[in-house]
Structure 1
Amino acid sequence: MTTPKKLVHWALDVSFSGFGSPFSDTASSESTTTSSLDYINAQLLAHGFAHDRGLSLEGLSKEDTDRTVKCLLGMLSQRLADMSRTEELTTKMRTLSYDHERLMSMYRDATERAANAEREMNLHKSRLASMTRTLQSTEAAHKHTTSELQRTRTSMQALRTAHQAEVKRLEKEKERMAERWSKIADAQVKLGTTPAGLRCANADVIDAPDVQLRGRGQGFLEVALDQAETARKDLFEQNRRLKGLILSTANEMQRVVHVARVAESPEDPLETAGEKLAILMGSIRESITRLSKSTNEPKSEASASSKSRGSAPGSQKAIDSVEVDRLQAVIDKLRAELDEAQKQAATYAAQTQELFDRFAEDERLRRGEVGEMSVDLMTAPARDEERQRLDARFKELDEERKKFTEAAVRLGREKAVLEV
């Protein structure tokens, strides 16, 4: 702050209170006037109103000198009063300036805090709106996933029903095949017990053993023995040929069955219906797990304090949209794989039915050119293998059903927590 200007307030009343002046209302002597003039000059030089030697009142009368001295003393006293008042006002001015600066600083701080509070309130409002939109999009995605899950469950139920119907049909086909083989075996047994129709040509001779043939030659006993031996040899030869025919027929049937089993029936693909269904269920569980994680992240972020929240709601929204798109792609892929699995199951069923029909329409089986070979020995391995495969498939489907039920229950709990 600059030094205030020196101002002199001229007053009509003259006061000598602060100077200890020797003048009074009575007439003063010349020495008193001279000393007062010296005092006045000293004060004027001290205050800067005069220079060099000060004022000289020589040539003035005594009365003029006294009046001049009194006037100058009054002016000096007024000057001192002005200086004291100026110092007091300067002190008050400095105090008020300090208070004004302090109050202005407090006002600026309060204004800045109010602006920061307003900006923070706007930020929280924008975050709340963003979180509300994220929650709505997540709920929509959850509803969509629930509907897709319900459709997948319906497809699984339809697939299970079709599989059970196919298994029942295969069992019926096996029963019919077993009945055909049993009929063939019964026919072979009947053919084995039927007599060959051989009759003894010399029954009369045997009935009359004491009668002798006329002429020369062997007796009737030797002739009968020779004929019996020849008939025995013929019967043995026919029996040997029949056994060879039965054995060759059995070998041929075994070869045909083996070739049909290895060559005609296609091998099961690497990804059967059970394995494909397991992969589909694994993908669904992974999608549900990721969806639950993405649902729990907004919930935990909403329950935290406002200062510890993230400053990028747009990035969270982008991540959620990407997650929804990925889940949609996974669901479409699951639909395609489920349709492919159903088509493969229908193809395998048609091939199996065609194979059974081919065996049923075989000409050699209809002619009955098979021997006494065991029907169970021929059909047991294929039947056992099919039964084992079906049992394994049923176990896999049951396990997948349990896992799918657990995933649905967990998803329902997470939905309830999210709604709360």
Structure 2
Amino acid sequence: MAIQRPKGTQDLLPGVVEQWQGLEEQIRKICKEYGYQEIRTPMFEATELFQRGVGETTDIVNKEMYTFLDKGDRSITLRPEGTASVCRAYVENKLYGGPQPVKLYYIGPMFRYERPQSGRFRQFHQFGVEVLGADKPMVDAEVITLVWDLYSRLGLKGLEVHVNSVGCPTCRPEHKQKLQEFLEPHKEQLCKDCQSRFEKNPLRILDCKNSSCQEITQGAPTTLDVLCEDCAGHFAELKRLLTAAEVVYKVNPRLVRGLDYYRKTAFEVLVEDIGAQSAICGGGRYDGLVQEVGGPQTPGIGFAMGMERVLAALKLSQEHQDEDKKEFLMLVALGEKAQSEGFAIISRLRKKGLPVSIDLLGRSLKAQLKAADRVQAKYAGILGEEELSKGIIILRNLRLGEQEELTLKEFEEQVLKQYKEDGNQ
């Protein structure tokens, strides 16, 4: 029996990889424009980092982490998210000693032991940004605007930005008490996970996807009911700035996110019909996280974007174009001399940025034209011994069935001209 890839993983094959590269290119471009620099952290960390940084009451820590003992008997975990690692790097490398704020982004694989389904994998990829060392509402607005701007450039439609304030250590205890009082009569009807959350972190019960828990929490007190003056002012200014930046948003009082480190701003970007998960981006403010992992008191905010989900949304919205994975031209060469000349021709065209190819198997004319059709080439250049002796080459439009004879020099000029006229440059 052939060995298969692990459950919850995927092979990214040619044709799909190009879509990932295009998305990564857009990400790097917009981050550069917004003044964010890339950081790359290890794919595994000390387990304690995520226990302290993500929170011991979270599903991630309790159920989903890939944790093991290494040969030195140290507990190691494959990173389930990126923020805790960035904060650890910020502290360990003393980035707090330099100019603030520090604006970072990352792209890379994350690992969670989840039940694989549409839109959810055990190895998945995230793009995230983190701003450390600034606590003003304008920072929150910039982070949300960045992801909104990115999705607009990608052509995503049907998006909703949901925002909320989850309070801070000053006002959250009051909400905790009111929420526990509201839920106490229904405690036994809550799911097992929510029963365990009742004492430590009842706010997360509002985030439960269990239908019975959702019904029980209808009408429950929200954090917006008890915000302190500082949190209320911060949230009001954030909404004003988002409106000024023309970001379409909706206040969602039930939005609490799934990690313990959030305070004040929490947000998600949602899109319909991409499988099990409709959120393609989520984030918020985490002013206590750097201190939690051993650093000085430092404000922070960021988001993480599931790249698989974004690509799925692009496919469904029909905005993503597949032209970049198609060949513009395949050179069909028959005979050794023609193959040698053909290879020189496509080498020159490739240097000018054209997506062209040549048959590498020495197949017949019919077989090579079939190959050109399979890669959806728009044109074929046909060069045999007879054409070579005459100093000509045939340029065939494979979609229209039309063709013309050109000199070798005219051929390259015509192909380049046609490529530009098709809007590629």
Q: TM-score range by the shorter chain?
A: under 0.3
Q: Give the TM-score normalised by the residue count of structure 1.
A: 0.20
Higher relative contact order (CA 8 A, sep 6+): 1
Structure having the larger proportion of residues in helix: 1
Q: Give the TM-score normalised by the residue count of structure 2.
A: 0.19
Higher gyration radius (CA):
1
